[in-house]
Structure 1
Amino acid sequence: MPLPFTPVPESDLDDLRRRLAATRRPPLPPTTGWERGTEPDFLARLLAHWRDRYDWRAHEARILALPWESVETGTGPLRLVHQRADPDAPTVVLLHGWPDSVLRYERVLPLLADLNVLVPALPGFPFSAGPPRPGTSAAAMAAAVADALHRLGHRRYVLSGGDLGADVAEHLAAAHPDRVAALHLTNVSPLHAVFADRSALGPEELAHLDAATAWQRAEGGYIAQQSTKPHTLAPALADSPAGLASWIAEKLRSWSHVPFAEDDLLTWISAYWFTDTIGTSFAPYAEFVPPVPYVATPTVLSAFAHDTKPAPRSFAARYVDLREFVEHADGGHFAAWEQPHAYAQDLRRAVALAEHEGRRPVRTPGAAPA
């Protein structure tokens, strides 16, 4: 099957190097480390590496070698990585978040070779088929993914994800309870904390809301900007690789527990630069929809200790049918990348849970591959 996209033109690589060489470093007040955001000397080193030593072609070849497919849906094409196993093997769907892409799951894919694995490039994100339509909320993304899976012949499946991927998973499971056999999440939707009735919560849950509020004050400025005035921010990040690297690298560094190597940071950032998707990736922040009040799908929740706002079991259980709560001492927000073996093991717990419940993920008998 032909690749759904082509290698980056050499002229784009030349343009990137030209822009990096012309970077104007802003004068900033003296600071200590990362207290005001991306540390200037760190950024200068990262940009120099991007300009002089980073080899996009090597990483591009690896990305293009993934088993990509493109599926027509009612709202346009959806690109996805489709790692096929035996047709009768269970199907799992991995849903990424922001500011990442399908690359979040690169290290997990080899650990799931016996399963049918689909990793959609969510609309408006790197490697997706084009700009999202107006109204492309998490719920709309869930509808597009459900449509694509149906057209590919996957009748029942396990959904796995975190960040935006958790919102998409909750909406999809609520809309199609017959299709979603189980959920594997690293967090319930962060919007549950926004809508929570504090008068109904216990001390542990109230402490979680207070911690989430403190995190929001210290780290959540990007949410306010991306959800209210995304078109003000997008031109600056789309025009300046230095700005884009600063915006994304700060999140990848501060939200992860296992440090990203420079080449990995730059590959994730380059995915946004070369696909010109930073502005369109803001859509689910601006296209607000309330969270699903409760999802009655059997759920395994992986709680990685260094995630941004890890919720206690008592809080998560209010919003999903929580059957297993697996705590991990290591790992942060990008757990599938940081701790792929732990992530894969917990995902298999969800597959086993689905089978135990008599909801084995299956394909439609006789369905032809896309």
Structure 2
Amino acid sequence: MPIRPFTLAVTDAQLSDLHQRLRNSRLPDALKPDSWEDGTNSAFLQRLLEHWCNHFDWRDQERRINQLPQFMTEVNGQAIHFLHQRGKGHKPMPLVITHGWPGSFLEMEQLLPLLTDPAAHGGDAADAFDVVVPSLPGYGCSPAPTQAGISSRQIAALWKALMGQLGYGRFGAQGGDIGAGVSMWLARDHQPQIIGAHLNYIPGSYRPPLGAGQDALSEKEQDFLGRSSHFAATEGAYAALQSTKPQTLAFALADSPLGLAAWIVEKFHAWVDHPDDLEQVLSFDTLLTDIALYWFSGNVQASLRLYKENRQNPLTFKPGERVAPPLGVTLFPKELPMPPRSWVARVFDVHRWEHAAHGGHFAALEQPQILAEEVRAFFRPLRG
């Protein structure tokens, strides 16, 4: 499949089916309707449902999305949807940015102009990038894989081939959530092609070599492992289910748009940096556009299954293994448990390790200006 422009076009029949399902939604009882303690807040979801039924206009969102530079191609037998915007400046650096779950390529909408045309947004034209934002297979507008075995490692190989199709022999990588894992696999498996990798998350599956012959765990590293275990025990039910029995969950989420919304909104509420009011940071329209992309894709099972694929192909390393491309990390205060620098430096060549003042797990969506400045700063000395 040659590279061709792509236009998102949801049919009237799909919209009619969605609205009928929303009107027939049945909400469960809740002991505490205004609490997030047991999961998604019932009162919040009722307000979201009312907005979805009576105020949210998908066609408006679709028109906005179709103003983005979207393309479709086939890479090693897998159809891939992606954004591709060239930078305005002297020799822009190619950069592939990867989203995660429960996000999409739309997370990068505000980040895109800040990186491709920094001079128009208070920056320096010398920091411009050619930006490529692919949709993970089975997410958004990328069709689902047709076979098992497609983990973040295989996706990294797809991205390397995609960048080659676009004429980029060497390029940088950036990502958070699953996208951080894809970026780390790019740096590990395709070192000659990777200029550097910038992350705003360190995947939980990342494990440097430990034990005999390795440095003992520091106090900060032991504290990180404790925090990670606590998170898994108290907040990790979604990951445990998606990484073991994704198909069972997919039956419910593929049949009920309100159920899909409840599953996704819980994570935005828990992981976004907000003053106990998610709407102050993300509007209902922003949330519903993301949720609707998952619904209209028809690929909920594939988006969940990637967790299982990554559990079966974790980011572990052998003793003595080192990854050469420089790594930069920005830590946002509302992020999931993050390790100390030493934990990452056991394998990676860490050039930058910075703490942001605001933001959470969806950094590109919450704080695009901060993330853009961090990406520019990390790659600046690697240009040329």
**Is the structural similarity TM-score above 0.5?**
yes
In the alignment, structure 2 segments of 5+ residues that lack a partner are 117-127, 275-280
> Are 2:288 and 1:266 aligned?
yes
Whether contact under 8 Å (1:304, 1:332) holds in the other structure is: yes
1:108 — aligned with what? 111
Given that residues 81 and 120 in structure 1 are in contact (C-alpha distance below 8 angstroms), is that contact kept between their aligned partners in structure 2? Answer: yes
Given the alignment of the two structures, is residue 12 of structure 1 paired with residue 28 of structure 2, yes or no? no
Structure-1 residue corresponding to 2:345? 317
CA distance in 1, matches of 2:7, 2:113: 23
The worse-fitting range, judged by mean Cα deviation, of 53-62 and 313-322 is 313-322
For 1:133 and 1:150, the matched residues in 2 are separated by: 24
Whether the aligned pair in 2 keeps the contact of 1:174 and 1:292 (CA below 8 Å) is no
Query: What are the Cα deviations for residues 338-367 of structure 1, in whole angstroms up to 9, with x where unaligned?
Result: 111110111112321322xxxx4xxxxxxx
Matches within 5 A, 1:48-127: 48-85=50-87, 88-113=91-116, 114-127=128-141
Matched, 1:299 2:327: yes
Instruction: Indicate how the Cα distance of structure 1 residues 2 and 151 shifts in structure 2: closer, same or farther if over 3 A, else same.
Output: closer
Match of 1:172 among 186, 190, 201: 186
Output the TM-score relative to the length of structure 2: 0.88
- Residue 247 of structure 2 is aligned to residue 213 of structure 1: no
Question: How many angstroms apart in 1 are the aligned matches of 2:210 and 2:291?
Answer: 34
State the structure with bigger RCO (CA 8 A, min sep 6), 1 or 2.
1
* Equivalent-residue separation in structure 1 for 2:208 and 2:112 (angstroms): 33
Q: The residue matched to 1:94 in structure 2 has which SS? A: strand
CA deviations 1:11-50 (Å, max 9, x no partner) are: 1111111111111111233366101100111111101111
Q: Deviations over 1:35-81 (max 9, x none)?
A: 11001111111011111110111111111221112222113222110
1:192 aligns with 2:192: no
Structure 2 letter corresponding to 1:232: T
Distance in 2 separating the partners of 1:80 and 1:286: 24
Partner Cα distance (1:347, 1:132) in 2:
34
SS in structure 1 of the partner of residue 364 of structure 2: helix
Q: Deviations over 1:319-352 (max 9, x none)?
A: 3211110111211000111111110111112321
The separation in 2 between residues aligned to 1:91 and 1:334, in whole angstroms, is: 22
CA contact (8 A) 2:209 2:316 kept: no
Q: TM-score, normalised by structure 1?
A: 0.91
Give the drift of 1:252.
Answer: 1.1
Question: How many residues are aligned here?
Answer: 356
Contact 1:170 1:292 in 2 (8 A): no
User: Counterpart amino acid of 2:345?
Assistant: A
Percent of aligned pairs with the same amino acid: 37
1:174 is matched by which residue type in structure 2? Answer: R
Gaps of at least 5 residues in structure 1 are: 361-370
Q: 1:320 to 1:138 in 2, by over 3 A?
A: same
Structure 2 CA distance for partners of 1:68 and 1:235, relative to 1, 3 Å? same
RMSD, aligned α-carbons? 1.9
- C-alpha contact 1:296 1:320 (8 A) present in aligned 2: yes
What is the match of residue 356 of structure 2? Answer: 328
